[in-house]
Amino acid sequence: MANISLRHVCKTFHNGVVAVRDCTLEAAEGEFLVVAGPEGSGKSTLFQLIAGLETPTEGDIYIGGVVVNQLFPQQRDIAMVLPNHVLYPELTVKENLAFRLKMHRMPEAEVERHVQEVAGLLQIDPLLDRKPGALTSMQQQMVMLARAMVQGHKVLLLDEPFVHLDEKLRAQMGKELRELHKRLGITILYATKDQAEAVALGDRIAVMKEGFIQQAGAPEELYASPANQFVAGFLGNPPMNFLNVKVGADGSDYTFTFGKSAVRMPQGWDGTGVLKSYVGKNVVLGVRPKDVHDDPAFVEKMEKGVVNAEVEVMESVGGESYLYLTCSGHSITAGVDADAMRQSGEQIQIAFDMEKIKLFDSDTEHTIWR
Amino acid sequence: MSNRLFQGVIHQMRDAIDRTIGVIDETSVIIACSELGRIGEVNDSITADVLAAPGTFVVNGYTYKSFGSRPRPEYAVFVSGSDPEASRYASLLAISLSSIKQYYDEKYDRSNFIKNVILDNILPGDIYLKARELRFNSDVSRVCMLIKITNKSDISAYDVIQNLFPDKSKDFIININETDIALVKEIRAGIEPKDLEKLAGSIVDTLSSEFYTHCVVGIGTIVVGIKDLARSFKEAQVALEVGKVFDTERAIVSYDNLGIARLIYQLPTTLCEMFLKEVFKRGSIESLDHETLFTIQRFFENNLNVSETSRKLFVHRNTLVYRLEKIKKITGLDLREFEDAIVFKVALMVKKYLSSNPVKF
């Protein structure tokens, strides 16, 4: 295993498309780092740069403390699994694992040693004589991991490896992967579009958008203290509510107005300093659905965060329920008690937990208050 | 099939050579013989290893000579006797049977037939006859993909693809040249385009993650029957060429999904030049610097939204407005107007097309 360090890495393709911009990121030895972001955010290019399939336009890539920019992919001792990876259908598991080594004309005894070693590590020895068609989906995924690791496994790069599996299987494979990581202590970099998967798997998450690393940190840190509006909206399901509000001030009493509704910050709020320069301007107010309440007791307590809203629809997901509301032309989602019964079109009062709101600059999208 | 072929020749030679002659295969079974009763007999003394011996050799009073097209000989011809004449007969028979087998293999090679079809090396009238002769199912859907290896690699991409699609009765992998491999794949009717792209993705991902080999895949349209395979192959070629001109970083380009680029690709270059002169009559596109062109590209990507584009470019809104005004002054086109924007977008694509000098299929 080895650590990975990216320093100011950029990648611009021949057609001018900038896929990765000034990316600085560290993955410690034995860490499970998830790179998360939407389609086209640069995750795959970043992985290809680390694997050596692409060369960076600028910056340096270190693996185990050594600059690898000039090294061929096969010299980097990296295993990589891509989303559309498949097994050779007519070859046994053993032949699948050995195929790549044989193609590189490795001596037979050496091939056997590598195959047995990786099969042992991933505990797939009993499957060696089976063909892919006779394996379960889970076993196939394990064989794919083994096949990737057969030539080198200082670092494991997994670029959305389970994207074609259904949700349940993906969760199971995630669990297997976590166990494997715990057992082998291998450094894993995992790319995904799915925020829930990122939170479930990663020791740390690096959120990417448009080639930039927006923020990197522990999942709970990113959730609680997002660096910008994108990170705040990316993590959490249902996503954070964003309202374009106008900042008003009456002494130290700050008001956020949207449409005909307004909420106020509680007395003694310590973010007044940062908001001074925004008075009279628009900012984005972010509030997570779980921090929007319809419970009368809470509404009474949080009087400064109360607004009127109309229920559009109520949705129950397992033990949780969500209210989809409209409030002064804005859509708001509220996480409510599973027992709550609300009708479409019902006028209700909701309260934002003003202690937990976030504020973002409407131009730069950077966090003003978290 | 080879057995019948060999027996036919042996039967004709029986009268000319007054000896027992025949053919044995690598599994030690006599598959053709001048003495009909011996066909099917197993001769354990002739194994695959024995067949590998060069020249003629004598075993139990019979002279043998191996032949066959594979790296290791698959068959041996035998002639009774161990004298020099037997050796001569064996050598002559081996040459004759080897040539006839090669001719037969070529004639009845389905892969070779498909290769001739996609490369237009066969008369349209012969396609139907030959397809029937080779028992090709003409009702099934097939698609042509062209895989182009874009970096040098010491591995054989052909072998990798062959192992990914091992069903030789349905899928055909053909080496077109040192960088291009065609895959003709039988597919189920009504397959979704995204499934085809996934299939192409499995080739790209396997080659890149397993063997660090970059490739791009062009996908033709789905055709039913054999004769339209040539069209599907050409479409796959066009897809790759158009992809190279207009979208250089995509690994999978589907002919079905080329959009306006396909239209431009079909246009004669004189017409394209005329169009460019018309659009940029008030100023030359050459006077727009790289930064301005990049700004325009981002402006289009952000749906002509000034605020969004300025945020993405990390410039002030007014800076972007100034740049757009400058473009309007030079070209006479106001990119904030949809009509002008679409003309500019097409003109940029036409210019890209002309300067790339693409291959026409």
Judge if B256 and B170 occupy the same domain.
yes
Domain that holds residue B297: 268-356
Residue B231: pLDDT over 90: yes
Distances (CA, A) of B293 to B1, B298, B348: 65, 9, 9
Judge if B157 and B219 occupy the same domain.
yes
Q: Which whole number is the average pLDDT over B235-241?
A: 93
- Residue A132 — φ and ψ, nearest 5°? -50, -35
Q: Which of B107, B137, B171 is the last residue of a domain?
A: B107
A297 touches chain B (CB under 8 A): no
How close A219 comes to chain B (CA, Å)?
Answer: 26
How close B270 comes to chain A (CA, Å)?
Answer: 25
A84 touches chain B (CB under 8 A): yes
Residues whose CB is less than 8 angstroms from the CB of residue B23 and which lie 6 or more positions away in sequence, other chains included: B6, B10, B30, B31, B32, B33, B75, B76, B77, B78, B97
- Please report residues of A whose CB lies closer than 8 A to that of B212: 51-53, 72-74
Judge if B231 and B170 occupy the same domain.
yes
Count residue pairs from A and B with Cβ separation < 8 A: 69
Q: Which residue of B has its CA nearest to A54?
A: B214
Please report, for chain A, how many H helices and E strands are present, in that order. 10, 21
Distances (CA, A) of A163 to A83, A149, A167, B63, B251: 6, 19, 9, 62, 18
The partner residue sitting opposite A103, judged by closest CB among B198, B204, B211, is B211
Q: Do residue B212 and residue A85 have CB atoms under 8 angstroms apart?
A: no
Q: Which of B262, B286, B301 is the last residue of a domain?
A: B262
Chain A interface, mutation test: which of B163, B209, B244, most A Cβ atoms within 10 Å?
B209
B301 touches chain A (CB under 8 A): no
Q: Which whole number is the average pLDDT over A154-175?
A: 90
Q: Write down the mean pLDDT value for chain B.
A: 87
Residue A283, classed as helix, strand or coil, is strand
Token duo for residue A27:
């993955």
- Please report residues of B whose CB lies closer than 8 A to that of A89: 164, 166
Residue A66, classed as helix, strand or coil, is strand
- Residue B86: inside a domain, yes or no? yes
Segments in chain A forming alpha helices (H): 43-51, 93-103, 108-121, 137-149, 167-184, 195-201, 219-224, 229-234, 272-275, 296-301
- Residue B53: inside a domain, yes or no? yes
Q: What value of ipTM does the predicted structure carry? A: 0.80
Judge if B142 and B214 occupy the same domain.
yes
How close B10 comes to chain A (CA, Å)?
Answer: 37
Q: Do residue A210 and residue B294 have CB atoms under 8 angstroms apart?
A: no
Q: Model confidence over B95-133: pLDDT tens digits?
A: 999 888 887 776 667 888 899 999 989 998 888 888 888
Instruction: Point out which residues pair with B21 in neighbouring strands.
Output: B79
- Residue B115: inside a domain, yes or no? yes
Q: Which residue of A has its CA nearest to B310?
A: A363
Q: Model confidence over A313-356: pLDDT tens digits?
A: 988 877 788 999 999 888 999 998 877 788 889 999 999 998 89
A7 touches chain B (CB under 8 A): no
Within A259-327, strands assigned E span 261-264, 282-287, 292-293, 306-317, 320-327
The Cα–Cα gap between A116 and A208 comes to 38
- CATH number of domain containing B79: 3.30.450.40
- Residue B284: inside a domain, yes or no? yes
Judge if B217 and B156 occupy the same domain.
yes
Q: Which residue of B has its CA nearest to A105?
A: B155
- CATH number of domain containing B181: 3.30.70.270
Judge if B256 and B273 occupy the same domain.
no
- Please report residues of A whose CB lies closer than 8 A to that of B164: 86, 88-89
Judge if B251 and B215 occupy the same domain.
yes
Most confident range (mean pLDDT) of A57-71, A268-282, B100-114, B312-326 is A57-71
Judge if B22 and B142 occupy the same domain.
no
Q: Which whole number is the average pLDDT over A230-256?
A: 89
- Residue B22: inside a domain, yes or no? yes
Q: Do residue A84 and residue B202 have CB atoms under 8 angstroms apart?
A: yes
Token duo for residue B317:
């809104």
How close B172 comes to chain A (CA, Å)?
Answer: 16
Confidence of residue B70 (pLDDT cuts 50, 70, 90): low
Chain B interface, mutation test: which of A47, A54, A71, A82, most B Cβ atoms within 10 Å?
A82
Q: Which of B107, B130, B158 is the last residue of a domain?
A: B107
Q: Which residue of A has its CA nearest to B352?
A: A15
- Residue B344: inside a domain, yes or no? yes
CB A369, CB A274: distance < 8 Å: yes
- Please report residues of A whose CB lies closer than 8 A to that of B248: 13-15
Judge if B244 and B135 occupy the same domain.
yes
Distance spanning both ends of chain A, measured CA to CA? 37
Q: Model confidence over A14-45: pLDDT tens digits?
A: 777 889 999 999 999 999 999 999 988 999 99
Confidence of residue A214 (pLDDT cuts 50, 70, 90): very high
Residue A330, classed as helix, strand or coil, is strand
Judge if B243 and B143 occupy the same domain.
yes
The Cα–Cα gap between A157 and B326 comes to 46
Judge if B30 and B6 occupy the same domain.
yes
Q: Which whole number is the average pLDDT over B182-191?
A: 91
Residue B85: pLDDT over 70: yes
* B contact residues 311-340, partner A, Cβ 8 Å cutoff: 311-312
- CATH number of domain containing B274: 1.10.10.2840
B208 touches chain A (CB under 8 A): yes
Q: Which residue of B has its CA nearest to A44?
A: B205
A147 touches chain B (CB under 8 A): yes
Q: Check residue A228 and give its pLDDT.
A: 95
The partner residue sitting opposite A103, judged by closest CB among B159, B201, B294, is B159
Within B210-327, strands assigned E span 215-219, 223-224, 252-254
A103 touches chain B (CB under 8 A): yes
Q: Check residue B290 and give its pLDDT.
A: 79
* Number of separate domains in chain B: 3
Q: Check residue B107 and give its pLDDT.
A: 67
- Residue B361: inside a domain, yes or no? no
- Residue B289: inside a domain, yes or no? yes
Amino acid at the residue A112: E
Confidence of residue A95 (pLDDT cuts 50, 70, 90): very high
Judge if B222 and B115 occupy the same domain.
yes
A365 touches chain B (CB under 8 A): yes
Q: Do residue A15 and residue B312 have CB atoms under 8 angstroms apart?
A: no
